[in-house]
Amino acid sequence: MVMNASENTLDVSTIERILSKVKDPEIPVISIRDLGILQNIVITGNLVTVEIIPTYSGCPAMYAIQADIKKALQMHQINEVEVKLVDDPIWSTEMITTRGRAAMQSYGIAPPLVAGEKNIRCPQCSSENTVRISEFGSTACKALYRCEDCLEPFDYFKCHA
Q: For the CA atoms of 92, 93, 97, 99, what is the dihedral angle to 10 degrees?
A: 150
- Least CB distance to other proteins at residue 114 (A): 17
Q: For residues 38 and 59, which CB has a smaller minimum distance to other proteins in the complex?
A: 59
From residue 37, alpha-carbon distances to 65, 95, 121, 139, 144 in Å are 10, 8, 25, 17, 23
> In whole angstroms, what is the distance from residue 151 CA to residue 16 CA?
40
- Least CB distance to other proteins at residue 54 (A): 8
- Least CB distance to other proteins at residue 135 (A): 4
34 Cβ neighbours under 8 A, 6+ residues apart: 96, 97, 99, 100, 103
Q: What is the DSSP string of 38-55?
A: EEEEEEETTEEEEEE--S
C-beta of residue 159 within 8 angstroms of C-beta of residue 101: no
- Least CB distance to other proteins at residue 1 (A): 34
92 Cβ neighbours under 8 A, 6+ residues apart: 36, 160, 161
Q: For residues 10 and 145, which CB has a smaller minimum distance to other proteins in the complex?
A: 145
Q: For residues 75 and 90, which CB has a smaller minimum distance to other proteins in the complex?
A: 90
Q: For residues 34 and 155, which CB has a smaller minimum distance to other proteins in the complex?
A: 155
Residues that bind other proteins (CB under 8 A): 54, 56-60, 87-88, 90, 92, 133-140, 144, 158, 160-161
- Least CB distance to other proteins at residue 15 (A): 27
Q: For residues 54 and 108, which CB has a smaller minimum distance to other proteins in the complex?
A: 54
